[in-house]
């Protein structure tokens, strides 16, 4: 067997362990490193969600893009992970870092859905709280993450000839980068998962861009409302400015569902009102659990490419979304300011603070 070769990243002083950058520090099959971007216009007509990730111990890289304008168009690609991890390119989808933490170019060159967009930071990137989840004593998820809000410009085109101009000042873009370990399909659940299933899960991830500040709110709660992840932070052009206390979020749901239509986020310093404009369930098209047709890290063979149209009014399509997380592009109002951002929400099983017993329609 030939000796392993160095990879391009080995040229840089970025090593974390005494091994080539070919390897990550863990042998956990669930190791991952990925991004997600959200682009949406201020009138709520379009929401583009795209991301790219690598799964080093599985040898897989994949990417996706979903465009929601009534129905959803989705392009997904998967391939074998190559040696050059600086090359973020899977099928027609690509992420190019022009200036780290400041400017990125995102492209999709496909006849079904294409775009060429430049993402520009409006505020410094900030680290989110360390995220860890255990089940039955087993570390199920551990992630380092950062979040950032920005502006964007470029063009999006669909296969039927529609062209959407993305203009600064009329669109907002947010993003998150995360890395660590999180479950990938293909592993037997084992006793820890079988005997320690969560009774409920409630998740809020709310990055909001105002003209003069960026607000980041995160809350993860269990069935009883115990908060295992908690952040409310204000960021200015100079970086983190002040903490805003423990956020309390009152959500108005569509009758008979857990689909939010509006919310009030109570913070130290006042309340922020949110109005949902357009929504994109991550379990439909984007590969997040519990997606039925494709999941991140799933090996589909070399050069796999898939294109879909999803009818988001069809209950058969949206059923998985009831047990997953949905990205809602929203308009926010705070003390006379108007901002735009994401109201990412997921609530399933029992959540006593919301009055959900676990039996309601999702």
**Phi, psi (deg, nearest 5) at residue 185:** -55, 150
Q: Is residue 16 part of a domain?
A: no
Which residue bears the tokens 């040898």?
Answer: 59
- Asked if the model's pLDDT at residue 184 lies above 50, the reply is yes
Q: Is residue 22 part of a domain?
A: no
Tell me the pLDDT tens digit for each residue of 297-356: 999 999 999 999 999 999 999 888 889 999 999 999 999 999 999 999 999 999 999 999
Mean pLDDT along residues 210-216: 97
Nearest to 106 by CA among 65, 53, 167, 70: 65
* pLDDT of res. 194: 80
Burial of residue 25, with CB atoms counted within 10 A of its CB: 0-12 exposed, 13-18 middle, 19 or more buried: exposed
Q: Is residue 188 part of a domain?
A: no
- The span from the CA of 252 to the CA of 150, in Å, is 28
| 3 state DSSP class of 168 | strand
- Asked if the model's pLDDT at residue 253 lies above 80, the reply is yes
Residue 360 — very low, low, confident or very high, per pLDDT cuts 50/70/90?
low
Tell me the pLDDT tens digit for each residue of 189-211: 788 778 888 889 999 999 999 99
Indicate the range of 175-179, 224-228, 309-313, 321-325 predicted with least confidence: 321-325
Q: Is residue 12 part of a domain?
A: no
- The span from the CA of 301 to the CA of 287, in Å, is 16
* pLDDT of res. 319: 86
* pLDDT of res. 343: 98
**Phi, psi (deg, nearest 5) at residue 20:** -60, 155
Query: Is the overall model pTM greater than 0.75, yes or no?
Result: yes
Q: Is residue 80 part of a domain?
A: yes
Q: What is the mean pLDDT of the chain?
A: 94
For the ranges 3-7, 194-198, 256-260, the maximum mean pLDDT occurs at: 256-260
DSSP string, 211-274: SS-EEEEEEEEETT--EEEEEEEEEETTEEEEE--S-EEEEEEPTTSS-EEEEEEEETTEEEEE
Considering the chain, what percentage of its residues have pLDDT values greater than 70?
98
Q: Is residue 274 part of a domain?
A: yes
- Give kind and range of the element (H or E) at residue 348: strand 337-349
* pLDDT of res. 362: 45
Nearest to 327 by CA among 277, 257, 293, 362: 277
Q: Is residue 192 part of a domain?
A: no
Number of domains comprising the chain: 1
* pLDDT of res. 3: 66
Looking at residue 298, the DSSP 8-state letter turns out to be: -
Tell me the pLDDT tens digit for each residue of 284-307: 999 999 998 999 999 999 999 999
Mean pLDDT along residues 151-164: 96
Nearest to 25 by CA among 11, 35, 34, 15: 15
31-41 and 171-181 as β-strands: parallel, antiparallel, unpaired? antiparallel
Better-scored residue on pLDDT, 361 or 276 = 276
Q: Is residue 273 part of a domain?
A: yes
| 3 state DSSP class of 290 | coil
Tell me the pLDDT tens digit for each residue of 99-144: 999 999 999 999 999 999 999 999 999 999 999 999 888 889 999 9
Nearest to 232 by CA among 280, 270, 190: 270
Domain that holds residue 94: 31-183+197-354
Cβ-based neighbours of 38, under 8 Å, separated by 6 or more: 47, 48, 49, 173, 174, 175, 327, 329, 342
- Here the CATH number for the domain that contains residue 78 is 2.40.370.10
| 3 state DSSP class of 286 | coil
- Asked if the model's pLDDT at residue 162 lies above 80, the reply is yes
Nearest to 85 by CA among 179, 140, 10: 10
* pLDDT of res. 328: 98
């Amino acid at each position: 067997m030939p000796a392993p070769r160095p990879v391009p990243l080995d040229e840089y002083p970025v090593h974390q362990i005494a091994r080539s950058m070919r390897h990550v520090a863990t042998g956990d099959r669930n190791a991952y490193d990925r991004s997600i971007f959200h682009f949406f216009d201020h009138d709520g007509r379009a929401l583009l969600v795209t991301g790219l990730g690598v799964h080093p111990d599985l040898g897989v890289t994949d990417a996706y893009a979903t465009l929601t304008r009534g129905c959803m168009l989705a392009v997904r690609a998967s391939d074998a992970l190559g040696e050059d991890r600086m090359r973020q390119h899977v099928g027609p989808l690509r992420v190019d870092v022009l200036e780290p933490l400041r400017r990125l170019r995102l492209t999709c060159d496909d006849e079904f859905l294409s775009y060429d967009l430049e993402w520009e930071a409006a505020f410094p990137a900030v680290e989110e709280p360390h995220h860890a989840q255990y089940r039955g004593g087993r570390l199920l998820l551990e992630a380092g993450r950062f979040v950032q809000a920005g502006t964007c410009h470029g063009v999006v085109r669909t296969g039927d000839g529609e062209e959407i101009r993305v203009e600064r000042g009329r669109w907002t873009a947010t993003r998150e980068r995360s890395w660590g370990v999180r479950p990938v399909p293909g592993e037997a659940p084992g006793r820890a998962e079988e005997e320690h299933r969560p009774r409920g899960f409630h998740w809020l991830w709310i990055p909001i861009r105002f003209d003069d500040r960026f607000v980041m709110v995160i809350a993860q709660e269990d069935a009883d409302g115990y908060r295992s992840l908690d952040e409310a932070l204000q960021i200015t052009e100079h970086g983190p400015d002040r903490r805003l206390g423990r956020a309390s979020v009152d959500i108005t749901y569509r009758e008979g569902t857990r689909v939010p239509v509006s919310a009030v986020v109570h913070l130290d310093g006042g309340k922020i009102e949110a109005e949902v404009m357009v929504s994109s369930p991550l379990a439909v098209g984007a590969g997040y659990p519990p997606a039925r047709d494709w999941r991140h890290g799933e090996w589909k063979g070399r050069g796999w490419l898939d294109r879909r149209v999803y009818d988001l009014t069809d209950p058969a399509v949206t059923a998985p979304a009831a047990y997953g997380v949905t990205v809602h592009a929203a308009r926010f109002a705070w003390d006379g300011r108007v901002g735009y951002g994401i109201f990412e929400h997921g609530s399933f099983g029992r959540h006593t603070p919301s009055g959900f017993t676990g039996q309601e329609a999702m």
